[in-house]
Structure 1
Amino acid sequence: MMSNYILGQIKHKALRLSVRQGLYQIALPLFRSRARKIKHPKSNLGLIKNPMSDCWPGKANQGSKILDGDFEFLGKIIHQSNRPWLVQDASDSWIENVAGFDWLDDLRAVGTDTARIKIRELILLWIKTQEFEKQNLAWKPEITGRRLANWLGHREFLSTRADIDFINEFESSILRQTLFLRQVEKLIGPGFNRIETYKGLILSSLSISNKRLLKKWCKNIDREIAQQILVDGGHISRNPATLLMFLRHLIDIRSALKNSNEDISEIIQHTIDKISPMIRFFRHGDGGLALFNGSDENEGWLIDIILGRSEARGNPINSTPHIGFERLEANRTLLLIDTGNSPPINFDIGSHAGALSFEMSVGKERIITNCGAHIGAIDSWSEVQRTTAAHSTITVEDLNSAELLRKSGIGTRPHSVQAKRQEGDGNVWIDASLTGYGGNKIVNHHRRIYLAANGNDVRGEDKITGKDSQKFIARFHLHPTVRASMVGHADTVLIRTPRGLGWRFKSSGGAVSLQEGVYLGLSGQIKRTEQIVVSSVTKGETGQIRWAISRVDS
Structure 2
Amino acid sequence: MNDGGVDEQRDGGARDTIDAGHRMVRAVGEGNASLGQRVADYFDRLTWRTPIHDMRLKGRYPRKLLAVPADPIAGSAEYGEALTAGWLAWRTEFRALDEVTFASSIGSAAFDDHAQSFAWLRDLWAAPDRAAATRTAEILTQRWLAVHGERVTERGWRPDLWGRRMLMWTAHAPLLLSSTDLIYRSSVLSAIARGARHLDRTADKTPVGVRRIASWCGVVAAGLLIPGGDPRRAIGETGLERALALSVGSDGGIASRSPRDQLDAIELLACLRAAYDARRLDLPEGVAQVLARMVSAMLGTMMGDAGLSSWQGTGPVAADEVQAVLHASRVVRRPLRQASNRGYQRIAAARSVLVMDAAPPPTAPSAAGACASTLAFELSDGEQRVVVNCGGAGMIPDAGLSAGLRSTAAHSTLVLADSNSTALLPDGALGRGVSEVDLSRQESDAGSRIEARHDGYARRFGFRHHRTLTMAADGLELRGDDSLVPTGKRPSRGQVPFAIRFHLGSGVEVLASADAQGATLMTSGGMTWHFRAGGATVVIEESVWIDPEGQVVPTRQIVAGGSADPGGASVSWVFKRAR
The TM-score normalised by the length of structure 1 is 0.91
User: Residue 254 of structure 1: CA displacement?
Assistant: 2.2
Q: Matched residues in 2 for 1:188 and 1:447: separation?
A: 38
Q: Deviations over 1:428-460 (max 9, x none)?
A: 111111124275482210001111122111111
User: Residue 38 of structure 1: CA displacement?
Assistant: 9.4
Q: Matched residues in 2 for 1:439 and 1:163: separation?
A: 67
Q: Matched residues in 2 for 1:389 and 1:471: separation?
A: 13
Work out which of the residue numbers 214, 217, 221 in structure 2 matches 1:199.
217
Of 124-133 and 411-420, more deviation after overlay is shown by: 124-133
User: Residue 475 of structure 1: CA displacement?
Assistant: 0.4
Of 80-89 and 49-58, more deviation after overlay is shown by: 80-89
Query: Which residue of the partner structure matches residue 370 of structure 2?
Result: 351
User: Retained in 1: the 8 A contact 2:436–2:454?
Assistant: yes
Q: Matched residues in 2 for 1:414 and 1:171: separation?
A: 49
Task: Report the 3-state secondary structure (helix = DSSP H, G, I; strand = E; otherwise coil) of the residue aligned with 2:402.
Answer: coil
Q: Matched residues in 1 for 2:186 and 2:136: separation?
A: 17
Query: Which residue of the partner structure matches residue 476 of structure 1?
Result: 502
The TM-score normalised by the length of structure 2 is 0.87
User: Residue 15 of structure 1: CA displacement?
Assistant: 6.7
Q: Which structure carries more relative contact order (alpha carbon 8 Å, separation 6+)?
A: 2
Alpha carbons of structure 1 residues 55 and 451: separation in structure 2 relative to 1, 3 Å: closer
Query: Which residue of the partner structure matches residue 11 of structure 2?
Result: none
Where does structure 2 lack aligned partners over 5 or more consecutive residues? 1-29, 487-491
Q: Does 1:412 align with 2:429?
A: no
Query: Which residue of the partner structure matches residue 180 of structure 1?
Result: 198
Q: Matched residues in 1 for 2:264 and 2:429: separation?
A: 20
State the one-letter code of the partner of 2:411.
Answer: H
Work out which of the residue numbers 125, 133, 141 in structure 2 matches 1:123.
141
Alpha carbons of structure 1 residues 393 and 84: separation in structure 2 relative to 1, 3 Å: farther
State the one-letter code of the partner of 2:377.
Answer: F
Work out which of the residue numbers 405, 418, 435 in structure 1 matches 2:455.
435
Q: How does 1:102-501 map to 2 (within 5 A)?
A: 102-111=119-128, 112-131=130-149, 136-209=154-227, 210-262=229-281, 264-376=283-395, 378-380=397-399, 381-437=401-457, 439-440=459-460, 442-466=462-486, 467=492, 468-501=494-527
Alpha carbons of structure 1 residues 521 and 410: separation in structure 2 relative to 1, 3 Å: farther
Query: Which residue of the partner structure matches residue 101 of structure 1?
Result: 118
Task: Report the 3-state secondary structure (helix = DSSP H, G, I; strand = E; otherwise coil) of the residue aligned with 1:459.
Answer: strand
User: Residue 401 of structure 1: CA displacement?
Assistant: 0.7
State the one-letter code of the partner of 2:406.
Answer: R
User: Residue 123 of structure 1: CA displacement?
Assistant: 0.5
Q: Does 1:28 align with 2:45?
A: yes
Alpha carbons of structure 1 residues 465 and 390: separation in structure 2 relative to 1, 3 Å: same
Where does structure 1 lack aligned partners over 5 or more consecutive residues? 1-12
Query: Which residue of the partner structure matches residue 8 of structure 2?
Result: none
User: Residue 538 of structure 1: CA displacement?
Assistant: 0.5
Q: Deviations over 1:269-290 (max 9, x none)?
A: 1112222222222111211101
Q: Matched residues in 2 for 1:37 and 1:77: separation?
A: 38
User: Residue 294 of structure 1: CA displacement?
Assistant: 2.0
User: Retained in 1: the 8 A contact 2:209–2:248?
Assistant: no
Alpha carbons of structure 1 residues 132 and 514: separation in structure 2 relative to 1, 3 Å: farther
Task: Report the 3-state secondary structure (helix = DSSP H, G, I; strand = E; otherwise coil) of the residue aligned with 2:146.
Answer: helix
State the one-letter code of the partner of 1:428.
Answer: S
Query: Which residue of the partner structure matches residue 502 of structure 1?
Result: 528
User: Retained in 2: the 8 A contact 1:387–1:400?
Assistant: yes
Task: Report the 3-state secondary structure (helix = DSSP H, G, I; strand = E; otherwise coil) of the residue aligned with 1:320.
Answer: coil
Q: Matched residues in 1 for 2:340 and 2:85: separation?
A: 50
Alpha carbons of structure 1 residues 346 and 226: separation in structure 2 relative to 1, 3 Å: same
Alpha carbons of structure 1 residues 134 and 214: separation in structure 2 relative to 1, 3 Å: closer
Q: How does 1:58-77 map to 2 (within 5 A)?
A: 58-77=75-94
Q: Deviations over 1:71-122 (max 9, x none)?
A: 2224222235252645656322221121111111111110511101110010
User: Retained in 2: the 8 A contact 1:38–1:172?
Assistant: no
Alpha carbons of structure 1 residues 226 and 183: separation in structure 2 relative to 1, 3 Å: closer
Task: Report the 3-state secondary structure (helix = DSSP H, G, I; strand = E; otherwise coil) of the residue aligned with 2:268.
Answer: helix
Alpha carbons of structure 1 residues 163 and 412: separation in structure 2 relative to 1, 3 Å: same
Query: Which residue of the partner structure matches residue 83 of structure 1?
Result: 100
Alpha carbons of structure 1 residues 162 and 458: separation in structure 2 relative to 1, 3 Å: farther
Q: Deviations over 1:500-551 (max 9, x none)?
A: 1111111121221111111114232111111111111002331122211111
Task: Report the 3-state secondary structure (helix = DSSP H, G, I; strand = E; otherwise coil) of the residue aligned with 2:34.
Answer: coil
Q: Does 1:547 align with 2:573?
A: yes
State the one-letter code of the partner of 2:565.
Answer: K
Q: Deviations over 1:112-137 (max 9, x none)?
A: 11101110010001111345678633
Task: Report the 3-state secondary structure (helix = DSSP H, G, I; strand = E; otherwise coil) of the residue aligned with 1:352.
Answer: coil
State the one-letter code of the partner of 2:208.
Answer: P
Task: Report the 3-state secondary structure (helix = DSSP H, G, I; strand = E; otherwise coil) of the residue aligned with 1:429.
Answer: strand
Q: Matched residues in 2 for 1:74 and 1:53: separation?
A: 24
Q: Matched residues in 2 for 1:38 and 1:82: separation?
A: 32
Q: Deviations over 1:338-374 (max 9, x none)?
A: 1111223425432111000000001111110011114
User: Residue 292 of structure 1: CA displacement?
Assistant: 1.4
User: Retained in 2: the 8 A contact 1:93–1:377?
Assistant: no
Q: Matched residues in 1 for 2:442 and 2:557: separation?
A: 29
Alpha carbons of structure 1 residues 280 and 149: separation in structure 2 relative to 1, 3 Å: same
Query: Which residue of the partner structure matches residue 542 of structure 2?
Result: 516
User: Retained in 1: the 8 A contact 2:207–2:366?
Assistant: no
Alpha carbons of structure 1 residues 76 and 14: separation in structure 2 relative to 1, 3 Å: same
Q: Matched residues in 2 for 1:225 and 1:23: separation?
A: 23
Alpha carbons of structure 1 residues 479 and 146: separation in structure 2 relative to 1, 3 Å: same
User: Residue 492 of structure 1: CA displacement?
Assistant: 2.0
Alpha carbons of structure 1 residues 352 and 462: separation in structure 2 relative to 1, 3 Å: same
Alpha carbons of structure 1 residues 530 and 85: separation in structure 2 relative to 1, 3 Å: farther
Query: Which residue of the partner structure matches residue 46 of structure 1?
Result: 63
Paired residues in the alignment total 540
Q: Matched residues in 2 for 1:133 and 1:139: separation?
A: 9
Alpha carbons of structure 1 residues 197 and 123: separation in structure 2 relative to 1, 3 Å: same
Query: Which residue of the partner structure matches residue 19 of structure 2?
Result: none
Q: Matched residues in 2 for 1:509 and 1:85: separation?
A: 58
Structural RMSD (CA): 2.5
Q: Matched residues in 2 for 1:39 and 1:415: separation?
A: 44
